[in-house]
Amino acid sequence: MSPTSIYLHIPFCKHRCAYCDFNTYAGQEDSIPDYVNALIREIDYVASQQANYSTSEPGGTAIHTIFFGGGTPSLLSGSQFDAILKALRAAFALSADAEISIEANPGTISHEKLDAIRDAGINRISFGVQSANTEELRMLERIHDFFTVIESVFNARKAGFDNLNLDLIYGLPEQTLASWKTTLSRIVDLHPEHISAYALTLEHGTPFGSWSSKGLLPLPDSDLAADMYEYAEEFLAGNGYVHYEISNWARDIDSQKSKVEDPTCSFRDLTPSYACRHNLQYWHSHPYLAFGAGAHGYANGYRYSNALRIKTYIERLVDPSSFTSHPFPLSPAAVNQHKQTIQDDMSEYMLNNLRLTIAGAVESDFRMRFGCGLLDVYPKEIEELIHLGLLESKTSGISETPEVYRLTKRGRLLGNQVFLRFV
Ligand code: SF4
């Protein structure tokens, strides 16, 4: 059984960006101290229920990654991160080499704060850069410019962070292939260990969603967006980044070539060393606990989520002992819970693992979890997708039976068509 991960949601932003539909609120920073106290109460409550959880160890559930997502986690102070991490260490068995990440907006994290969060134990930062083009950043209503990105990366390196991700969005209104190429080249010049590049999605209820429905958003057509994606694949590979998930690239310490030539090496071993271990937990369909307003978790057979609003979340945790007992890992803040069936787990296994461009959906892993093979459950779907050129199978070299199914180059562009078959 894999160790568990932890996600903590920090739903505060200085300003709401025009395309964003995340559970986050601008202008509520006064609530941060109460929110941090509520998070600690939720951690303590969930920990008090963990005794019978299957990955529980004498010191509590074994945890190997923690991720502070948002919102803008970098709005919390070093001492607030310290207090939350102390509560997590007291509650669970955190591994010595745990990956502990925060999302940060360039410009919201001073040199002093970087030192403080490093001292608190955070060892990975994911900066929401989105673009290196001033006009594009303005259109997205981001509060930073690219100079601030350079400064933030420089300060993070100075504070000792040796694992940085830079997040990008492509397919922006009026974006050209030339401007996307410039963004990628400027990002690579900053030598991050990890790069994420997501296509812009128009979400209902956002200003971008409403402008687009009125025909006011000149978006690149799908061919141009596909060209941007293909250029990223080619350019990042040429600069030493391994494309390990549909939208994610990472540097590797060892050469991929020597790994490929090693006959004992499995497809999973080809995952680059700087891959985000926390996100791999989701893509491998392994368990994670969730804390905070609107946070989603998956553990002990449950998928669950907490109350969205900051005020409701805090109120629900004022006195957790006054609530009736909740099964692990649910807390009094949970408002949705679903007991997973084996069919849910199998379907999610395919949706998550097929996002992994090298490791894919693994026959031996699926068999170990569910007691049957991939072709026993999805014969028609797999055959059809291979026939359409969206999926490919690979053998391990030890047996003739396919060990891995993964997206082809075309499948990566048309991922949704693949995933739909397994819903
Ligand atoms: S900073 Fe991030 S989370 Fe906050 S509004 Fe902008 S996109 Fe959304």
CATH number of the domain that residue 205 is part of: 3.80.30.20
Specify the residue with its C-alpha closest to ligand 1, atom 8. 20
Q: Is residue 206 part of a domain?
A: yes
Q: Choose the residue to mutate in 9, 12, 17 for probing ligand 1, maximizing ligand atoms within 8 Å of C-beta.
A: 17
How many A from CA of 400 to the centre of ligand 1? 48
Q: Which two tokens stand for residue 134?
A: 């001033």
Closest ligand 1 atom to the C-alpha of 142? 6
For residues 278 and 367, state if they share a domain. no
Residue 362 sits in the same domain as residue 278: no
Q: What is the pLDDT of residue 268?
A: 78
pLDDT score, position 322: 65
349 CA to centre of ligand 1 in angstroms? 29
Q: Mean pLDDT of all residues in the chain?
A: 93
The reply to whether 152 and 229 lie within a common domain is yes
> Which residue puts its alpha carbon closest to atom 5 of ligand 1?
16
Which of 253, 283, 313 is at the close of a domain?
283
* pLDDT of residue 305 exceeding 90: yes
Domain end position, chosen among 283, 300, 321: 283
Ligand 1: centre distance to CA 393 (Å): 38
Where is pLDDT greater, at 318 or 280? 280
pLDDT at 264 > cutoff 80: no
**pLDDT reported for residue 364:** 93
Protein residue with least CA distance to atom 2, ligand 1? 71
Name the percent of the chain lying above pLDDT 90: 85
Radius of gyration of the chain from Cα atoms?
22
Residue 175 Cα to chain centre, angstroms: 25
What is the C-alpha to C-alpha distance for residues 171 and 301, in angstroms, rounded to an integer? Answer: 37
Q: Which atom of ligand 1 lies at the shortest distance from residue 16's CA?
A: 5
Q: Give the per-residue pLDDT at 66.
A: 98
Q: Indicate the number of domains in the chain.
A: 2
Does any domain span residue 108? yes
Ligand 1 pocket mutation pick from 13, 105, 139, 142 by most atoms within 8 angstroms of CB: 13
Residue pair 132/101 in contact (Cβ under 8 Å)? The answer is: no
Judged by average pLDDT, the poorest of 1-10, 208-217, 394-403 is 394-403
CB 96 within 8 A of CB 123: no
Q: How far is the CA of 371 from the centre of ligand 1 (A)?
A: 42
Q: Which of 10, 14, 24, 105 to mutate to test the pocket of ligand 1 (most atoms within 8 A of CB)?
A: 24
State whether 104 and 24 are in the same domain.
yes
Residue 269 is predicted with a pLDDT of: 79
Domain boundary among 247, 265, 283: 283
CB 336 within 8 A of CB 305: yes
Domain that holds residue 166: 4-283
Q: Which ligand 1 atom is at minimum distance from the Cα of 141?
A: 6
With CA atoms as reference, report the closest residue to 6 among 66, 54, 90, 46. 66
Same domain, yes or no, for 367 and 276?
no
Residue 319 is predicted with a pLDDT of: 77
pLDDT-wise least confident of 17-31, 54-68, 109-123: 54-68
* 56 and 159 assigned to the same domain: yes
Question: What is the whole-number distance in angstroms between the Cα of residue 167 and the centre of ligand 1?
Answer: 12
Tokens, residue 274: 């700087």
400 and 266 share a domain?
Answer: no
- Phi first, then psi: what are they for 69, rounded to 5°? -115, 170
Closest CA to 293 of 264, 270, 316: 316
Are 112 and 213 in the same domain?
A: yes
pLDDT band (50, 70, 90) for residue 263: low
- Token pair in block for residue 4: 């568990």
153 and 231 both lie in a single domain: yes
pLDDT for residue 320? 66
| pLDDT for the residue 220 | 80
pLDDT band at 56; cut points 50, 70, 90: low
- Ligand 1 atom, smallest distance to 13 CA: 4
Same domain, 279 and 347: no
Over residues 299-321, mean pLDDT: 93
Each residue of 379-404: pLDDT tens digit? 999 999 999 999 999 987 667 788 89
Residue 246 shares a structural domain with residue 391:
no
Alpha-carbon distances of 227 from 171, 212, 222, 332, 406, rounded to whole Å = 10, 22, 9, 47, 21
- DSSP E strand boundaries for 11-149: 12-13, 25-26, 56-57, 60-70, 93-104, 124-130
Q: Residue 306 forms beta bridges with which residues?
A: 334
What CA–CA distance (Å, rounded) separates 419 from 200?
19
DSSP at 321? G
- Inside any domain, residue 145: yes
Ligand 1 environment, Cβ below 6 A: 13, 16-17, 20, 22, 24, 70-72, 105, 128
Distance 410 CA to ligand 1 centre (A): 31
Q: Is residue 291 part of a domain?
A: no
**Token reading at 370:** 């569910």
Q: Which residue has the tokens 């919102």?
A: 71
| pLDDT-derived band at 249, boundaries 50, 70, 90 | very high
Angle, CA of 352, 358 and 360, to the nearest 5°: 35
Mark whether 178 and 66 lie in a shared domain: yes
The residue contributing the CA closest to ligand 1 atom 7 is: 20
Query: Which of 22, 109, 308 to probe ligand 1 with, by most ligand atoms within 8 A of CB?
Result: 22
- Establish if 173 belongs to a structural domain: yes
Confirm whether 382 is domain-assigned: yes
CATH number at residue 415: 1.10.10.920
Residue whose CA lies nearest to ligand 1 atom number 3: 71
Q: With contact defined as beta carbons under 8 Å apart, do 228 and 171 qualify?
A: yes
Q: Residue 289: inside a domain, yes or no?
A: no
Structural domain contains residue 325:
no
Residue 194 pLDDT > 80, yes or no?
A: yes
User: Three-state DSSP class for 365?
Assistant: helix
CB 136 within 8 A of CB 149: no
